[in-house]
Amino acid sequence: MRAWRWVWLYGIGIVVVWLLGPELGDMPMFKEMTLGDSKVRGSQLAEFTADAFTLLLFLLLGHRAVSQLPKEGKWSSFLRRIIPPSVTLIIVLAGHRVLRTLAGPFLAEMDRMIYNLIFLLVGISVALWLILALRRSSAMLMQTSEGEPIQQEPAQSREESAPARKPPDEADKTVPLPAPPSSRAQPSNLQQESHDRTVRIDPSHQRRKLGRYAVIRELGRGSTSVVYLGKDPTIQRFVALKAIRFDEVDEPSELVEIKRRFFREVKSVGLLSHPNIVTIFDAGDEQDLGFIAMEVLEGITLKDWCRKANLKPIKRVLELVTTVAQALDHAHSQGVVHRDIKPANIMFTKDGIAKITDFGIARITSFTKTRTDVILGTPSYMSPEQLVGEKVDGRSDLFSLGVVLYELLTGERPFQGESIASLTYQIAHKPHRPPAQIRTDLPPCCVAIIDRALCKAVGKRYQRGLELAEDLRTCRQTCT
């Protein structure tokens, strides 16, 4: 809420300027003033000027409000649709009153008819704009409810399913990347949820159970999975149920193999026990579905902290990323690689704890893909070796965490591209933009950490999460 305090300043300014107009008009110096041979009195001009500034402030308020809205969330999308036509309609109505008062004496009968006709057409056009915006948003609002607990998938699902402030960057979408001939690993290791695709999981009816778990309601969905709020009837515990659809296969033996690999990966991830990694309680399957029962979290994702208007203090960011690096080191020491580290997969709970979500989901999702010439991923956060489909280890996660650190400190991503091909080339071959060019108050130690984390050569990168965490901790101690 602190980031929205400026709204009060605009509101106070609008009220003060609006009230100031009549007060100025009543002053003797303005009452006695006449502009040349015109019929406009000084008091009218004073009120007109105050009203014009009031409308200008109101316009600036609406513009800034739209620009400050979060990128994700259906309510944010609704407000981005409604605010512009609403502000425009108010300005048209108020402006009509002001202009009619000032210009009335100069308008002949015919001119006044033309003026009123123009105003009527403009008013109808803006009103239709507002009505269409309401109609387009009504269906969306009926499908969502505010106040649902936010946990690992819902936070990501809002990113996937909510309309963005502008057309989504290709780098943030699920995109097919042709696997290079030299690829030594299955190129479907990578996973990214899509804005444009949904999962058809039991579309004929609303699920009531997954395994022994009662399904309460759907929390969110992406291109490869649906997340439900569930309840374990045995111990009466609420869980997040991530249901993953297995691709239909021709041979039953293929489905058996997919499920075997699914449970093997879930087991390795489920053995992770760390306070900063989301806990997996259970897993199961039903026909062509696999599901994972995880702890439910309430909080926000780090995506909210990557907007320039909402950047956190440097020491706070370093402390947070230190915690994530330590959690990654624990997972890597157990042979588990995340493969999809990004702000949307790191949550900050209402209890002030950082939690890495969706561990193993990227690899699990790859088991359900029948095509071997497609890489799914979030290109903006991928390491060079990950982009080309090579075998990855924990150092790839540390590269991705370096991208997250860069974005948390600057509000921008280190690599930019107008297309996936352009972005891939930038990550693989071009140096990142020096973060100090974006934020001049960054300590040299922050720049050095980012430079090492984003090294193209795997051997020159941080080799362990603890190594990165130690540098982050030292840097934090030197920050003022």
Q: pLDDT tens digits for 277-320?
A: 999 999 998 877 889 999 998 889 999 899 988 999 999 999 99
340 catalytic residue (yes or no): yes
Structure letter (DSSP) for residue 293: E
| Active-site hit among 340, 358, 397, 471 | 340
| Across 256-262, average pLDDT | 81
pLDDT at position 19, please? 78
pLDDT at position 192, please? 36
Domain boundaries, given as residue ranges, for the chain: 2-142, 152-478
pLDDT at position 47, please? 72
Share above pLDDT 90 across residues of the chain, in percent, rounded to a whole number: 34
Residue 461 backbone dihedrals phi, psi, to 5 degrees: -80, 175
Query: For residue 283, what are the β-bridge partners?
Result: 292
CB atoms < 10 A from the CB of 364, how many?
26
| Across 377-387, average pLDDT | 88
Q: CB within 8 A of 161, min separation 6: which ones? A: 74, 195, 198, 220, 221, 222
Structure letter (DSSP) for residue 34: B
Q: How confident is the model at residue 365 (pLDDT cuts 50, 70, 90)?
A: low
**Is 172's pLDDT higher than 60?**
no
Q: How confident is the model at residue 42 (pLDDT cuts 50, 70, 90)?
A: low
Q: pLDDT tens digits for 319-363?
A: 999 999 999 999 999 999 998 899 999 999 988 999 998 887 766
Fold assignment, 152-478: Transferase(Phosphotransferase); domain 1 (1.10.510)
Mean of the per-residue pLDDT values of the chain:
77
Q: pLDDT tens digits for 81-134?
A: 778 888 888 888 877 766 666 665 555 555 667 777 887 888 888 888 888 878
Least confident window among 23-37, 133-147, 411-425: 133-147
Q: CA 141 to CA 144: how far, in whole Å?
A: 5
